[in-house]
């Protein structure tokens, strides 16, 4: 249990100084861990509590940037009225005690008081008629809720355009340190596209410690703080991230028919008003789409998939997409923006019974095209798997593209379905081969070889599962049979609960069946 934080600070996290332990909840002031047979030192880390901010609402402005947002007390706020055809600006007013530097100027400043304020731009006709204050057409006032990891809550004004069905809010400069943020947009009638404006600098951090979750009735997106780090054409001051309903009429007819009435969304990025392509494998975003399955789909949830649809209408399955019955959403991670749709693709095999222990795993993998049958509607679950076959399945499962024009490959890579996959796996160091620049792709794969390939791939992708089960490799009676070159991978997967063994054994040197391989990858993807 952490001590009471010093004045003006709050608990941030636990730091393990020594002892090699894994904390149950490293970001909570009260946590626990399994005591090893050696001394342990942990330290509580504290951080400064950010200063409180207050909301500025700007009414009657026709400027692209009004100055609305959140500010600290004593901060100088700049507001803009813009311009309006056939009208002239007639001064700023406020009922909240605001003192303007120059109330007659369309652009002016004031010092932020210690409360939320509303300021209004007034207008008069430019004709010969008497001066009459005029305001823009009234739109119902909507606000987005902003919640900080610390529990602090604020609200941000939404700019709503009913004619285009869009809503935009500006996050502004939130002094939040490394706090995660949750922005909840309200459901607005006839609005199907929601955008968040955010300083580009907030998305070019060196780490992914901070995330911003944007929730709308169309879908939610979790944005990492390094989303734009190292991405070309993203120099600028303001980024806009948009999630909205896609237009199915633009899709090829066969794709429209297969999607049916399921959701189609469109993700967009613009920088300073210019639409910008985004592709960053080092900072994937997580997307969730609300979805209510049909009775058939609910009975076969592993066949609910996500499709990426490119500009030409081609469909590619997002292998990590899956339906979450707890949240009622289809969730997936992507490293580029485009159109994404929920789809249903049930694949059945005559030799995979619905009560088989591997049924769900095989259904999941086949629905996503990760693994295919062996012909005649069969999967051959007890068939042995070769090293080349497993490598292809693994790389498909994690969206690792093959190297179609390799400059280097194993001498026995041949010219077949696994050739380009071997080249990429060698380049990424997922595999090292068996020596003498050989891989032995047609040799039956052992379980420990399978675990090492999986471990290397996940380590490269930064997706190794948490080792939080407290299980030990030496709880298995054949732990000594694990080769030295495989011990790191096997130990990690035991601690993560990926390897469960059978009758107290791991059987590291045993060969793997097609069903076993499907199940172990399914276990990983489900983590």
What are the residues whose beta carbons fall under 8 Å from the beta carbon of 82, sequence distance 6 or more?
61, 62, 63, 64, 66, 106, 121
**Long-range CB contacts (within 8 A, 24+) of 458-464:** 458/398, 458/524, 460/428, 460/429, 460/430, 461/398, 461/400, 463/398, 464/492, 464/496
> Does residue 288 contact residue 327 with C-beta atoms inside 8 Å?
yes
User: Does the structure show a pLDDT above 70 at 132?
Assistant: no
Question: Which token pair is 465?
Answer: 């599962």
Q: Report how far residue 384's alpha carbon sits from residue 239's, in angstroms, rounded to the nearest whole number.
A: 51
CA–CA distances in Å: residue 1 to residues 41, 149, 193, 469? 13, 19, 45, 21
Question: 431 with 493, same domain?
Answer: yes
Per-residue model confidence as pLDDT tens digits over 60-105: 888 777 888 778 888 899 999 888 777 889 999 998 889 999 999 9
> Does residue 247 contact residue 229 with C-beta atoms inside 8 Å?
no
pLDDT-derived band at 134, boundaries 50, 70, 90: very low
Question: 505 with 403, same domain?
Answer: yes
Count of other CB atoms within 10 angstroms of residue 192: 17
Q: Report how far residue 364's alpha carbon sits from residue 519's, in angstroms, rounded to the nearest whole number.
A: 10
> Does residue 135 contact residue 59 with C-beta atoms inside 8 Å?
yes
Residue 481 phi, psi (nearest 5): -80, -10
Q: Report how far residue 388's alpha carbon sits from residue 385's, in angstroms, rounded to the nearest whole number.
A: 8
Question: 320 with 364, same domain?
Answer: no
What average pLDDT does range 376-385 have in this prediction?
Answer: 94
Q: H-type helices in 4-108, by residue range?
A: none
More confident residue, 128 or 257: 257
Domain boundary pick from 346, 377, 400: 346
User: Does the structure show a pLDDT above 90 at 47?
Assistant: no
In a domain, 27, yes or no: yes
In a domain, 102, yes or no: no
More confident residue, 368 or 53: 368
pTM (2 d.p.): 0.70
In a domain, 129, yes or no: no
> Does residue 398 contact residue 455 with C-beta atoms inside 8 Å?
no
Domain boundary pick from 301, 318, 346: 346
Question: 340 with 363, same domain?
Answer: no
Task: Provide the mean pLDDT of the chain.
Answer: 88
Q: Put residue 469 in one of left, alpha, beta given phi > 0 → left and psi -120 to 50 → alpha.
A: alpha
- DSSP-derived letter for residue 479 is G
Q: Report how far residue 9's alpha carbon sits from residue 28's, in angstroms, rounded to the nearest whole number.
A: 15
In a domain, 317, yes or no: yes
Question: 275 with 414, same domain?
Answer: no
Domain boundary pick from 284, 314, 346: 346
Question: 338 with 380, same domain?
Answer: no
pLDDT-derived band at 167, boundaries 50, 70, 90: very high
DSSP string, 79-118: EE---BTTEEEEEEE-SS---BS-TTSSEEEEE--SS-EE
Cα–chain-centroid distance for residue 4? 34
User: Does the structure show a pLDDT above 50 at 526?
Assistant: yes
More confident residue, 421 or 372: 421
Collapsing DSSP states into helix, strand and coil, what is residue 268?
strand
Question: 327 with 366, same domain?
Answer: no
pLDDT for res 54: 81
pLDDT for res 525: 84
- For residue 313, the enclosing domain spans 139-346
More confident residue, 100 or 41: 100
In a domain, 499, yes or no: yes
Per-residue model confidence as pLDDT tens digits over 217-266: 999 999 999 999 888 878 878 999 999 999 999 899 999 999 999 999 99
> Does residue 2 contact residue 29 with C-beta atoms inside 8 Å?
yes
- Over its C-alpha atoms, the chain yields an Rg (Å, rounded) of 28
pLDDT-derived band at 176, boundaries 50, 70, 90: low
pLDDT for res 131: 44
pLDDT for res 174: 61
Question: 434 with 467, same domain?
Answer: yes
What average pLDDT does range 23-44 have in this prediction?
Answer: 82
Question: 201 with 307, same domain?
Answer: yes
pLDDT-derived band at 137, boundaries 50, 70, 90: very low
Buried b (16+ CB within 10 A) or exposed e, 258-288: bbeebbbbbbbbbbeeeebebebeebbbbbb
pLDDT for res 8: 74
Domain count, the chain: 3
Q: Which of 164-178, 285-299, 353-367 has the lowest mean pLDDT?
A: 164-178
CA angle 422, 514, 417 (to 5 degrees): 30
> Does residue 17 contact residue 32 with C-beta atoms inside 8 Å?
no
pLDDT for res 110: 94
pLDDT for res 177: 61
What average pLDDT does range 131-148 have in this prediction?
Answer: 63
In a domain, 131, yes or no: no
Question: 499 with 458, same domain?
Answer: yes
In a domain, 111, yes or no: no
Question: 372 with 332, same domain?
Answer: no
Question: 41 with 161, same domain?
Answer: no
User: Does the structure show a pLDDT above 70 at 138?
Assistant: no
In a domain, 98, yes or no: no
pLDDT for res 133: 45
User: Does the structure show a pLDDT above 60 at 183?
Assistant: yes
Q: Report how far residue 33's alpha carbon sits from residue 26's, in angstroms, rounded to the nearest whole number.
A: 10
pLDDT for res 286: 96
């Amino acid at each position: 249990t952490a001590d009471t934080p010093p004045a003006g600070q709050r608990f941030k996290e636990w730091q393990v100084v020594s002892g090699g332990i894994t904390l149950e909840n490293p970001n909570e002031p009260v946590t626990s861990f399994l005591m090893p047979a050696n001394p342990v030192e942990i330290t509580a880390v504290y951080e400064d509590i950010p200063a409180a901010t207050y909301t500025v609402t700007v009414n009657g402005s026709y400027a692209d940037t009004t100055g609305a947002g959140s500010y600290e007390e004593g901060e100088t706020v700049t507001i803009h009225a813009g311009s309006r055809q056939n009208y002239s600006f007639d001064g700023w007013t406020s009922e909240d005690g605001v003192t303007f530097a120059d109330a007659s100027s369309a652009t002016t400043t004031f010092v932020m008081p210690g409360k939320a304020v509303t300021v209004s731009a007034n207008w008069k006709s430019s004709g010969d008629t008497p001066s009459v204050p005029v305001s823009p057409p009234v739109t119902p006032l909507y606000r987005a809720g902003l919640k900080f990891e610390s529990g602090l809550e604020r609200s941000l004004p939404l700019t709503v355009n009913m004619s285009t069905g869009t809503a935009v809010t500006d996050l502004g400069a939130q002094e939040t340190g490394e706090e995660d943020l949750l922005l909840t947009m309200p459901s607005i009638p006839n609005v199907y596209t929601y955008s968040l404006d955010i300083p580009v600098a907030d998305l070019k951090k060196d780490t992914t410690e901070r995330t911003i979750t944007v929730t709308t009735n169309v879908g939610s997106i979790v944005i990492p703080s390094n989303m734009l780090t190292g991405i070309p054409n993203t120099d600028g001051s303001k980024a806009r991230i948009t999630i909205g309903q896609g237009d199915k009429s633009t899709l090829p007819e066969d794709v429209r028919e297969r999607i049916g009435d399921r959701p189609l969304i469109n993700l967009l990025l613009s920088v300073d008003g210019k639409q910008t392509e985004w592709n960053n494998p080092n900072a994937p975003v997580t997307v969730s789409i609300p979805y209510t399955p049909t009775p058939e789909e609910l009975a076969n949830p592993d066949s609910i998939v996500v499709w990426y649809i490119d500009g030409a209408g081609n469909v590619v399955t997002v292998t990590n997409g899956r339906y979450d019955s707890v949240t009622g959403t289809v969730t997936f991670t992507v490293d580029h923006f485009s159109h994404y749709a929920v789809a249903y693709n049930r694949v059945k095999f005559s030799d995979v019974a619905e009560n088989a222990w591997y049924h769900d795993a095989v259904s999941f993998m086949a629905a996503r095209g990760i693994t295919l049958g062996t012909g005649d509607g069969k999967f051959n679950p007890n068939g042995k798997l070769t090293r080349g076959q497993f490598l292809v399945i693994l790389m498909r499962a994690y969206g690792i593209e093959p190297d179609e024009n390799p400059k280097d490959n194993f001498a026995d890579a041949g010219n077949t379905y696994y050739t380009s996959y071997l080249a990429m796996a060698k380049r990424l160091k997922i595999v090292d081969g068996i020596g003498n620049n050989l891989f032995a792709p047609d040799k039956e794969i052992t379980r420990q070889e399978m675990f090492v390939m999986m471990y290397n791939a996940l380590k490269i992708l930064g997706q190794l599962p948490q080792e939080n089960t407290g299980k030990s490799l030496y709880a298995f009676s054949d732990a000594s049979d694990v080769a030295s070159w495989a011990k790191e991978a096997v130990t990690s997967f035991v601690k993560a609960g990926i390897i469960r063994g059978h009758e107290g054994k791991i059987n590291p040197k045993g060969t793997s069946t097609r069903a076993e391989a499907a199940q172990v990858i399914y276990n990983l993807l489900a983590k």
